[in-house]
């Protein structure tokens, strides 16, 4: 060992991999296109909202990489992978040799087919903001001001998070979603409808089943976004959150097998070249590209173990997607719109909740929880651990939790224990002549003191 | 000192670390009454305290040394000289054949400071063995090791307990103090009356949780991740005290970075606590004064030290440590949990909380003891590791036990009991025929609480005096007398004092200059001042005990429990206490006025329905290490993926896991994977 490991990409998967290799003999080089050391990308909408300090995003600082002997090169773009020479070629021609190469290139935002989005010179219209990187976030943040208008193109998890963040910032926000309802790949129409209603209640208009087709620049600096249903939304900002695609250009040019992502086996190695691995959003394992952080971290953990020479293999991930948006409650476990099994559903449009569990062989194999996350902690545990439930349990999980009665309103039977410290029943208290008599004879109230008011009221009532 | 038959003596409760003051009157049937002037409990007692005299003079009290015939199992009462001669000669034989470390000593966190000190000295000087540890290793050792790393010193509470009433937000992590030390719960009520808030973090909604404004019920073994999530949100919100961090701590940059990856939804997935609750908790901590107290629920894990460090980091980041009415503390468990860990019955320690591998410490203590420092053994094995090795070629083959009921209280207890049975000699000093005494070769009957004088150091680091109030039954001796008599028979180079006050004065000299320095404390001062705090009433206002005067922040990561649920063992098992019993129950189960309800299996209605369990009907709990049956108690106050069993009865610890914390060597009492079934009739 003591060989050279080169990681292309400085995102969340890459940093987790490097953490897993601390103390191993690998000489690690990380080549990151971004100018900022690895940061927590999924908190960008919280930064936009103002709920998360931007300087608290950094996962590992430059000093950390230095201390651990990792060569982190920021602002470094890789042009080619030379699989024959075992080198990566940087823009500008410099070459970095590797014994093993890890592609952690992530995903790049998709530009929706909207005419006018890209200007003739190839740059984006100044009102248009992709939302993927810290740089995107900073640029949008600088453009945000209360009273301005924004249209978020894309009603998926990211789109809703950004829409809520902008609305919280006082921006007059609208959402355009091409599918028939919001979060179409995660929740069913009823769930999407509840979300749309919640958003409208929070002041954000939703246009579902509508595609943005054209951007008209306005003399005033804003733009008009024309939808395929004929509406034109006048706006100052257009935020693109309509998904991304795995960044695989480098792998394709290097001749690696690529489907949607770089095709990898259970050791996260390319099926074409065992010296090259891929993890995170750019990797395709058993036909799946995940797009979420937890599976990317699981892959990074497995790959770190593999590179340390341990037995480890990646067997796919259970995904839990959580909407992080103030005022909207959504959790999606697995793929509730596709998973097969028995569906247990509880919908209450009056209170705005819609929850669906997909149960197979007693196990929760998928779930969508909208508007009521009171049991999300337990349901997630049962899903993650593959717990086999009893027949009544899925229904019970969706039933309302018991409401405690006001103890003061309950008439205590004589045998009810009112003082746990001294083990005194209501009957024993009632038999006493006075509070002091009760303290002396039963020792009630002389321990933790929690029963003082109950004892007093029992004595008053029996007096 | 013998009290007249009608006189009243102030003393302290025989049980938990609160060490409530009480008065005892009478000799044959002593009665307990309130001692209102004692500041810690101001006259309040729980039913364990009120009935504490119930053990005095009971029929089950041992009053004669007993020797067991291994062949027939028969016990024979013998005289003290015969018993002590037998023990001493067997110990000498065993050490002659297998070396000094062939004899091990196991102490307890309920022993007085004087006994703990004498026992440590006895092991190192009279026996010359390195093999000594105690059951406190299984109590607050994780908080101790975290406190030493973070603050440079370990004092459970670095302030009086009553300071709780002065905070704004109190966070109890894994403490059920309303049941385990009920008089302490009065402070929660006083705090809330003032407008303060209480947060309880526990997989069960306990009696303590009934007094809380926010109850958070994490999966057992995930308190660490919760702390990381809380600190993440505090950083995100800019709620940390950068000035304090810069002036009074080191390591903040690493800690800050380490929590960037713990956003609330990730915490939710790991802990089973909804992200909104994590946010609500962090939101409360923006208050001007925040106090976090951990107890066994957070600490008795293979990740216990790191869990405590994570919560300490929260309080340091908020700038709370050293501020009056705020900061971090550990609610110690056993009566003398604090003092018991300060005076040398720990495997790696000498009196005054000194390290046994520190040459200066060895020289000082050897000087007080009048021996050559080089004759002192080095560090020995931790409690579980010592027991695990008993009767093996590497381990000891004789064990002397004081103040502990290992058969009930050790983790993975079936295995540990097998190790005890593999010994050549087991000697137990106890007041009753405990489960451990019952498998001993020799049992020596000793005095209890009110029959002897000695000091205890309560959870606040307050040294209190338990005065003798009644005469001991004829035939019993104090542990100090047993130690001295054995030392003499073993040819100890120095004598052992048997008068507690004399031992305490020697302890003071031995601890002088150590981090727990008792040299200025005397019995008279304790009597006059309502107890004396070692190190001062409040610590950390100006400085921490590290050489640079700063607190050390240590970046820690969530690892999770050593054993996770699986298809065969699908639920989490956690253990704990009930109000009417104490520890292994050797004392409380013999007090007639305390209800001995027996063990039970607490289970949520959803889980009960899945498993076909009925309230009150027997349930069987099985882990990879053992099995027990007890009636199911169906309550909706517990997580639906977790069951709870109290540990006062033989059974719970057959189930528990022996994974150890790498730093404190604390076993993982508080979580393992279990299978629960309806036991039906005849299998219980």
**Predicted confidence (pLDDT) per residue in A239-268, tens digit:** 999 888 999 999 999 999 999 999 999 999
B54 contact A CB<8A: no
Window 197-256 of B, Cβ < 8 Å to A: 207, 210-211, 219, 235-238, 253-254, 256
pLDDT-based confidence at residue A410 (cuts at 50, 70, 90) = low
- Mean pLDDT, residues B178-198 taken together: 96
- Which helix (H) or strand (E) covers residue B644, if one does? strand B642-646
- Predicted local distance difference test score (pLDDT) of residue A147: 82
**What does the pLDDT read at residue B292?**
98
Same topology, domains A4-107+245-307 and A128-242? Answer is yes
Of B210, B260, B567, which has the smallest distance from its Cβ to A59's Cβ?
Answer: B260
Q: Determine whether the interchain pair B274/A397 forms a contact, defined as Cβ–Cβ distance below 8 Å.
A: no
Which residues in chain B are contacts of A57 at CB distance < 8 A? 260
> Which one of B306, B331, B356 terminates a domain?
B331
Is residue B106, in this structure, part of any structural domain at all? yes
Last residue of a domain, one of B286, B307, B331: B331
User: Is residue B460 one of the residues assigned to a domain?
Assistant: no
Based on the domain organization, do B215 and B313 belong to the same domain?
yes
Q: Does B184 touch chain A if contact means CB atoms closer than 8 Å?
A: yes
CATH code where residue B443 lies: 3.40.50.740
Whole-number pLDDT of residue B3: 42
B678 burial level (CB within 10 Å; 0-12, 13-18, 19+): middle
Same domain, B194 and B132: no
Which two structure tokens, joined as six digits, stand for B564? 């996770």
| B481 lies in the same domain as B413 | yes
Q: Which of B272, B569, B675 to mutate to test the interface with A (most CBs of A within 10 A)?
A: B272
> What is the mean predicted confidence (pLDDT) over B429-452?
96
| Cβ separation B44–A43 shorter than 8 A | no
Question: What's the domain range around B15?
Answer: 8-55
CATH domain A329-398 topology: Enolase-like; domain 1 (3.30.390)
Asked if residue B237 and residue B128 are part of one domain, the reply reads: no
pLDDT number for residue B59: 75
Round to whole Å and give the CA distance between A216 and A232: 9
Interchain CB distance below 8 Å, B639 and A40: no
- Cα–Cα distance list, A51 to A60, B12, B234 (Å): 21, 51, 11
- The chain B residue lying nearest A62, using CA atoms, is B257
Whether the pLDDT of residue A209 is over 60: the answer is yes
Q: Kindly tell me the burial class for residue B674, based on how many C-beta atoms sit within 10 Å of its own C-beta (0-12, 13-18, 19 or more).
A: buried
Is the confidence at residue B5, as pLDDT, over 90?
Answer: no
Question: B167 and B305: one domain?
Answer: yes
Q: What is the pLDDT of residue B254?
A: 95
Work out the percent of chain B whose per-residue pLDDT is above 90. Answer: 94
Let me know how long chain A is: 463
Q: Which residues of chain A make contact with B579, given a CB cutoff of 8 A?
A: 420-421
pLDDT in tens, B276-303: 999 999 999 999 999 999 999 999 999 9
Q: How far apart are CA A386 and CA B254, in angstroms?
A: 35
pLDDT at B681 over 80: no
User: Does B289 map to a domain?
Assistant: yes
Calculate what percentage of chain A has a pLDDT beyond 90.
Answer: 86
B530-557 pLDDT per residue, tens: 999 999 999 999 999 999 999 999 999 9
Average pLDDT over residues A37-45: 95
Does a structural domain hold residue B1?
A: no
Give the pLDDT confidence of A169-204 residue by residue, as tens digits. Answer: 999 999 999 999 999 999 999 999 999 999 999 999
pLDDT at B408: 96
- The model's pLDDT over B387-438, given as tens digits with 9 standing for 90+, comes to 999 999 999 999 999 999 999 999 999 999 999 999 999 999 999 999 999 9
Structure tokens at B400: 């002397």
Element containing residue B150 per DSSP (H, E): helix B141-151
Secondary structure (3-state) at B548: coil
**How many CB pairs below 8 A link A and B?**
141
**Looking at the predicted structure, is the pLDDT value of residue B605 above 70?**
yes
Q: State whether B164 and B280 are in the same domain.
A: yes
Overall average pLDDT of the B137-143 stretch = 94
pLDDT confidence tier of residue A406, bands split at 50, 70 and 90: low
- pLDDT tens for each residue of A82-91: 999 999 999 9
Question: Which domain-ending residue is among B261, B296, B331?
Answer: B331
The answer to whether the CB atoms of A450 and B178 lie below 8 A apart is yes
State chain A's mean pLDDT as an integer: 94
B426 part of a folded domain: yes
Give A-chain residues touching B273 at CB under 8 angstroms: 377
pLDDT of A1 above 60: no
Q: Look up the CATH number of the domain holding residue B21.
A: 2.20.25
Q: Which residue of A has its CA nearest to B611?
A: A390
Co-location of B295 and B431 in the same domain: no
What are the chain A neighbours of B237 within 8 Å (beta carbons)?
Answer: 51-53
- How far A121 CA lies from chain B's nearest CA (Å)? 39
Tell me the C-alpha distance between A5 and A101, whole Å: 6
**Is residue A462's pLDDT more than 80?**
no
Query: CA of A152 to nearest chain B CA: how many angstroms apart?
Result: 23
Inform me whether the pLDDT recorded for B683 exceeds 90. no
Residue B120, in any domain of the structure: yes
Please tell me the predicted confidence (pLDDT) of residue A404: 56
pLDDT higher than 80, residue B157: yes
B236 shares a domain with B314? yes
Q: Edge to edge, what strands does the sheet with A276-278 contain?
A: A71-73, A27-31, A4-8, A100-103, A276-278
Task: Note whether B480 and B372 are same-domain residues.
Answer: yes
- Confidence (pLDDT) at B2: 45
Strand-pairing partners, residue B645, are B575
Least confident of A46-50, A452-456, B229-233, B653-657: A452-456
User: Would the CB atoms of A420 and B207 count as touching at under 8 Å?
Assistant: yes
Domain boundaries, chain A: 4-107+245-307, 128-242, 329-398, 407-462
The neighbour count for residue A354, using CB atoms within 10 Å, is 25
A4-107+245-307 CATH, one of 3.40.50.170, 3.50.50.60, 3.30.300.130, 3.40.50.300: 3.50.50.60
Q: Do A446 and B260 touch (CB under 8 A)?
A: no
Superfamily of the domain at A128-242: FAD/NAD(P)-binding domain (3.50.50.60)
Fold assignment, A407-462: Arc Repressor Mutant, subunit A (1.10.10)
Strand-strand pairing, A27-31 and A4-8: parallel
Position B429 scores a pLDDT of: 98
Which chain A residue's Cα is nearest to B45? A447
In a domain, B527, yes or no: no
Domain count of the fold of chain B: 4
Question: For A102, phi and psi rounded to 5 degrees?
Answer: -120, 125
Distance, in Å, from the CA atom of B413 to the CA atom of B435, rounded to the nearest integer, reads: 12
The answer to whether residue B546 sits within a structural domain is no
pLDDT of residue B595: 87
Among chain B residues, CA nearest to A322: B265
pLDDT of residue B1: 43
Instruction: Check residue B64 and give its pLDDT.
Output: 97
Q: What is the overall mean pLDDT for chain B?
A: 95
Instruction: Tell how strand B672-678 and strand B618-623 pair up.
Output: antiparallel
Contact partners, residue A9, CB within 8 Å, separation at least 6 = A30, A31, A32, A33, A103, A104, A105, A106, A280, A282
Q: Name the one residue in this structure whose structure tokens are 């701590």.
A: B249
How far does Cα A9 stand from its chain's mean position?
A: 20
Residues B321 and B346 in one domain: no
Band the pLDDT of A110: cuts 50, 70, 90.
confident
pLDDT given for residue A219 in this prediction: 86
SS3 content of chain A, % helix, strand, coil (to 5): 30, 25, 45
Q: What is the mean pLDDT of residues A272-289?
A: 97
- Residues 577-596 of chain B with CB under 8 A from chain A are 579-580, 595
- Kindly indicate the confidence band of residue B55, based on its pLDDT and cuts at 50, 70 and 90: confident
Q: Which residue of A has its CA nearest to B254?
A: A64
Which of A56, A320, A390 is facing B269, going by the closest CB pair? A320
Facing B219 at nearest CB: one of A320, A376, A381? A381
Contact B300, B666 (CB under 8 A): yes
Distance to chain B for A170, nearest Cα, Å = 19
* Number of other CB atoms surrounding residue A279 within 10 Å: 33
Residue B502 and residue B362 share a domain:
yes
Please indicate, yes or no, whether residues B272 and B317 belong to a single structural domain of this protein: yes
Minimal-distance CA residue of chain B relative to A15? B261
């Amino acid at each position: 060992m003591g060989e050279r490991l080169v990681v292309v990409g400085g995102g969340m998967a890459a940093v987790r991999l490097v953490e897993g290799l601390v103390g191993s003999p690998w000489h690690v080089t990380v080549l990151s296109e971004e100018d900022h050391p690895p940061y927590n990308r999924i908190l960008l909408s919280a930064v936009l909202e103002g709920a998360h300090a931007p300087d608290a995003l950094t996962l590992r600082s430059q000093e950390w990489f230095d201390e651990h002997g990792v060569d982190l090169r920021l602002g470094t773009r890789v042009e080619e992978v030379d699989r024959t020479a075992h080198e990566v070629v940087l823009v500008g021609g410099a070459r970095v040799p590797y014994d093993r190469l890890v592609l952690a290139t992530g995903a790049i935002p998709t530009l929706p087919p909207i005419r006018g989005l890209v200007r003739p010179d190839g740059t984006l219209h100044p009102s248009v903001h992709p939302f993927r990187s810290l740089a995107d976030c900073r640029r949008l943040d600088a453009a945000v001001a209360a009273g301005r208008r924004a249209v978020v193109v894309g009603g998926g998890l990211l789109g809703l998070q950004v829409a809520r963040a902008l609305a919280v910032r006082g921006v007059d926000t609208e959402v355009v979603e091409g599918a028939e309802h919001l979060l179409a790949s995660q929740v069913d129409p009823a769930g999407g409808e509840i979300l749309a209603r919640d958003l409208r209640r929070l002041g954000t208009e939703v246009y579902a089943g509508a595609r943005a087709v054209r951007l008209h620049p306005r003399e005033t600096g804003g733009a008009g976004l024309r939808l395929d249903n004929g509406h034109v939304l006048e706006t100052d900002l257009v935020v693109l959150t309509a998904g991304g695609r795995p960044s695989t250009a480098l792998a394709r040019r290097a001749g690696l097998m690529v489907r949607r992502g770089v095709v990898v086996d259970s050791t996260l190695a390319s099926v074409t070249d065992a010296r090259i691995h891929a993890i995170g959003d750019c990797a395709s394992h058993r036909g799946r590209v995940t797009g979420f952080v937890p599976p990317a971290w699981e892959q990074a953990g497995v790959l770190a173990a593999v590179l340390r020479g341990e037995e480890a293999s990646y067997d796919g991930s259970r995904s839990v997607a959580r909407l992080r948006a103030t005022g909207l409650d959504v959790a999606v476990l697995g793929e509730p719109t596709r998973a097969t099994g028995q569906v247990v559903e509880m919908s209450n449009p009056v209170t705005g909740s819609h929850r669906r569990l997909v149960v197979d062989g007693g196990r929760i194999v998928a779930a969508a929880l909208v508007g009521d996350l009171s049991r999300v902690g337990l349901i997630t545990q049962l899903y993650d651990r593959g717990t086999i439930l009893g027949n009544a349990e899925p229904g019970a999980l969706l039933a309302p939790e018991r409401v405690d009665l006001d103890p003061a309103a309950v008439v205590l039977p004589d045998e009810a224990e009112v003082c746990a410290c001294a083990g005194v029943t209501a009957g024993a208290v009632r038999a006493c002549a006075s509070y002091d008599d009760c303290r002396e004879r039963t020792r009630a109230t002389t321990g933790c003191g929690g029963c003082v008011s109950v004892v007093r009221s029992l004595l008053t009532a029996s007096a | 000192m013998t009290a007249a038959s009608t006189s009243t003596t102030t003393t302290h409760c025989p049980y938990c670390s609160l060490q409530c003051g009480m008065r005892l009157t009478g000799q044959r049937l002593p009665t307990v009454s309130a001692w209102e002037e004692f500041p810690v409990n101001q006259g309040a007692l729980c039913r364990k305290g009120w009935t504490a005299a119930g053990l005095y003079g009971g029929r089950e009290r041992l009053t004669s040394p007993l020797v067991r015939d291994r062949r027939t199992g028969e016990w024979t009462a013998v005289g003290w000289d015969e018993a002590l001669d037998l023990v001493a000669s067997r110990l000498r034989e065993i050490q002659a054949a297998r070396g000094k470390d062939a004899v091990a000593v196991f102490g307890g966190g309920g022993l007085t400071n004087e006994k703990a000190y004498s026992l440590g000295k006895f092991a190192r000087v009279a026996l010359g063995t390195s093999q000594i540890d105690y059951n406190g290793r299984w109590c607050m050792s994780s908080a101790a090791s975290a406190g030493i790393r973070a603050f440079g010193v370990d004092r459970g509470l670095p302030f009086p307990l009553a300071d709780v009433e002065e905070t704004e937000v109190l966070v109890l992590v894994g403490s059920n103090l309303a049941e385990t030390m009920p008089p302490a719960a009065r402070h929660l009520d006083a705090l809330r009356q003032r407008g303060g808030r209480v947060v309880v973090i526990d997989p069960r909604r306990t009696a303590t949780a009934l007094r809380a404004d926010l109850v958070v019920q994490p999966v057992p073994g995930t308190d660490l991740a919760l702390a990381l999530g809380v600190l993440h949100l505090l950083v995100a919100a800019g709620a940390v005290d950068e000035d304090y961090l810069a002036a009074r701590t080191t390591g903040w940059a690493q800690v800050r970075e380490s929590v960037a990856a713990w956003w609330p939804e990730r915490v939710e997935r790991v802990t089973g606590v909804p992200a909104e609750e994590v946010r609500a908790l962090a939101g409360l901590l923006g208050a001007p004064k925040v106090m976090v107290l951990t107890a066994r629920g957070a600490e008795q894990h293979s990740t216990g030290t790191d869990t405590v460090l994570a919560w300490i980091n929260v309080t340091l980041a908020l700038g709370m440590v050293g501020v009056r009415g705020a900061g971090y503390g550990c609610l110690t468990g056993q009566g003398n949990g604090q003092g018991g860990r300060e005076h040398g019955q720990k495997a790696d320690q000498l009196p005054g909380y000194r390290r046994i591998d520190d040459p200066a410490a060895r020289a000082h203590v050897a000087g007080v003891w009048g021996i050559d420092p080089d004759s002192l053994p080095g560090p020995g094995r931790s409690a579980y590791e010592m027991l695990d090795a008993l009767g093996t070629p590497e381990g000891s083959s004789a064990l002397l036990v004081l103040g502990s009921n290992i058969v009930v209280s050790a983790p993975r207890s079936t295995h540990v009991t097998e190790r005890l049975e593999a010994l050549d000699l087991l000697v137990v000093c106890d007041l009753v025929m405990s489960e451990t005494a019952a498998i001993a070769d020799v049992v020596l009957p000793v005095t209890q609480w009110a029959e002897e004088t000695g000091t205890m150091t309560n959870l606040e680091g307050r040294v209190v005096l338990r005065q003798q109030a009644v005469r001991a039954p004829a035939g019993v001796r104090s542990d100090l007398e047993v130690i001295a008599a054995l030392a003499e028979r073993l040819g100890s180079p120095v004598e052992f004092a048997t008068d507690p006050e004399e031992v305490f004065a020697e302890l003071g000299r031995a601890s002088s200059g150590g981090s727990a320095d008792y040299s200025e404390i005397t019995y008279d001062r304790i009597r006059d001042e309502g107890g004396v705090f070692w190190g001062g009433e409040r610590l950390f206002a100006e400085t921490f005990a590290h050489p640079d005067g700063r607190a050390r922040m240590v970046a820690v990561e969530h690892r999770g429990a050593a054993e996770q649920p699986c298809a065969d063992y699908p639920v989490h098992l956690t253990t704990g206490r009930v109000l009417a019993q104490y520890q292994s129950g050797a004392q409380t189960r013999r007090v007639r006025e305390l209800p001995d309800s027996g063990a039970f299996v607490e289970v949520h209605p959803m889980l009960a329905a899945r498993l076909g369990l009925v309230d009150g009907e027997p349930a069987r709990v099985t882990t990879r290490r053992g099995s027990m049956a007890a009636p199911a108690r169906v309550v909706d106050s517990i997580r639906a993926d977790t069951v709870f069993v109290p540990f006062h009865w033989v059974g719970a610890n057959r189930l528990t896991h022996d994974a150890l914390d790498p730093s404190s060597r604390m076993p993982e009492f508080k979580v393992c994977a279990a299978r629960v079934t309806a036991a039906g009739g005849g299998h219980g």
